């Protein structure tokens, strides 16, 4: 008589026998979005693993800056309402990147309704069930204001900015470009991990700018097109010792800021590696001289269409900035061809490029 096999010998191993760690590993090996979606449709357990493994969220109506194809194909009429955000952030609790770019909703009035979902200041409950691991958030062209953010500062994780920084202690990057209602004061008390702020064409105030850099962690600051009302030297706050780690600074189209701000930044940001001053018409010989004397780590400098960059200023840059490797320069009417040739002769290691770059710094991709 042949021996009978035990039931344990005949049993088959199914997906339910695999630990979650194995399923997470399998999910992370899937590259295409369709494969990842199919994984989540397999069973409830796989769906839970998919939810826990998702690290980024971008709405259909979101779009990326300077991506014309995405602008033309995005459905900008889609409205993202409060309950959508609540359900999605409850479902995806391990997000690292969140993009609401181009979503004109929710306004501050819409954010206030989040309180109806039980999100109060009692222990930042939303921080526990929402995005405690959030590192990058994009609010490009969103209708967000300091007033709304301030009201929700200690109650709702979804306040997205200074308030968000208090709830998301791992926040590294915030994009608020073209958010017309932002002055920057909401950044006061933000996380020390905040290293990247992109606020192009925003109406930042000196106090708000100080709030951005006050925690000392800023490495990339993109504030092109900034205009302060009746404050020509408002940028001096950057150079008051708070932005010691600053590596990349984009001041393109900051037409009204003068030498005082430039001197403060050059002296207060010793690690600066790339600086875009294109179309900064008020920077004169004092400013250029300060850059030459103080910016010892500067590798790339953009001076396109700077009306007050003259031969003497170019000489100051030539004699200083010993680490300079690329100079973006064109449309400077006060620069003579002789000064350019002398620059090339004395600094042959520096490449002079006629192109003008609008965007500098790292690219944060949602995946």
List the one residue out of 362, 153, 152, 140 whose CA is nearest residue 273: 362
73/49 same-domain check: no
Cα–Cα distance for residue pair 247/310, rounded to 1 Å: 26
Give residue 5's pLDDT: 43
Say what the pTM is.
Answer: 0.78
Assigned domain for 201 exists: no
Which of the four pLDDT bands, split at 50, 70 and 90, describes residue 129?
very low
Provide the domain count of the chain: 3
pLDDT per residue as tens digits for the range 237-284: 888 878 899 999 999 999 888 899 999 999 999 999 999 999 999 999
In a domain, 133, yes or no: yes
Degrees to nearest 5, angle at CA 296 with 313 and 332: 25
Do 236 and 146 share a domain, yes or no? no
Query: Does 108 fall in a domain?
Result: yes
Q: Do 280 and 312 have their domain in common?
A: yes
Question: Residue 327 domain-assigned?
Answer: yes
Q: Are residues 186 and 270 in the same domain?
A: no
Q: How many angstroms separate the Cα of 360 from the Cα of each of 112, 201, 256, 302?
A: 35, 15, 21, 10
Structure tokens given for 317: 């840059």
pLDDT for 364 beyond 90? no
Range of 163-177, 256-270, 314-328, 349-363 with top mean pLDDT: 314-328
Question: Mean pLDDT lowest for which of 60-69, 208-217, 228-237?
Answer: 60-69
Q: Are 325 and 300 in contact (CB under 8 A)?
A: yes
Tell me which residue range forms the domain holding 44: 18-53
């Amino acid at each position: 008589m042949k021996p009978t096999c035990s039931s344990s010998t005949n049993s088959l191993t199914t997906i339910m026998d695999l630990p979650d760690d194995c399923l997470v590993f399998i999910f992370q090996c899937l590259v295409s979005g369709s494969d990842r979606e199919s994984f989540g449709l397999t069973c409830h357990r796989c769906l839970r693993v998919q939810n826990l493994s998702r690290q980024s969220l971008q709405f259909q109506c979101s779009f990326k800056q300077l991506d014309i194809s995405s602008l033309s194909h995005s459905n900008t009429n889609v409205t993202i309402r409060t309950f959508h955000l609540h359900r999605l952030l409850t479902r995806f609790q391990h997000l690292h990147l969140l993009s609401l770019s181009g979503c004109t909703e929710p306004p501050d009035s819409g954010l206030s309704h989040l309180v109806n979902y039980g999100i109060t200041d009692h222990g930042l409950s939303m921080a526990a069930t929402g995005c405690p691991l959030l590192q990058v958030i994009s609010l490009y062209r969103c209708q967000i204001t300091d007033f709304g953010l301030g009201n929700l500062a200690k109650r709702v994780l979804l306040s997205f900015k200074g308030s968000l920084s208090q709830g998301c202690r791992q926040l590294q990057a915030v994009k608020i470009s073209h958010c017309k209602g932002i002055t920057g004061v909401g950044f006061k008390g933000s996380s020390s991990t905040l290293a990247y702020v992109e606020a192009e064409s925003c109406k930042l105030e000196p106090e708000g700018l100080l709030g951005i850099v006050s925690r000392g962690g800023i490495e990339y600051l993109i504030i092109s097109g900034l205009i302060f009302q009746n404050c020509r030297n408002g940028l001096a706050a950057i150079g008051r010792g708070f932005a010691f780690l600053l590596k990349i600074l984009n001041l393109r189209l900051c037409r009204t800021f003068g030498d005082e701000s430039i001197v403060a930044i050059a002296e207060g940001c010793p690690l600066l590696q790339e600086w875009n001053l294109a179309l900064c018409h008020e920077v004169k010989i004092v400013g250029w001289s300060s850059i030459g004397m103080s910016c010892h780590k500067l590798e790339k400098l953009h001076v396109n269409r700077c009306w007050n960059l003259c031969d003497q200023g170019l000489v100051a840059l030539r004699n200083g900035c010993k680490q300079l490797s690329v100079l973006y320069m064109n449309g400077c009417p006060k620069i003579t061809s002789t000064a350019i040739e002398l620059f090339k002769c004395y600094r042959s290691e520096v490449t002079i490029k006629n192109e003008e770059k609008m965007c500098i710094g790292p690219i944060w991709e949602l995946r």
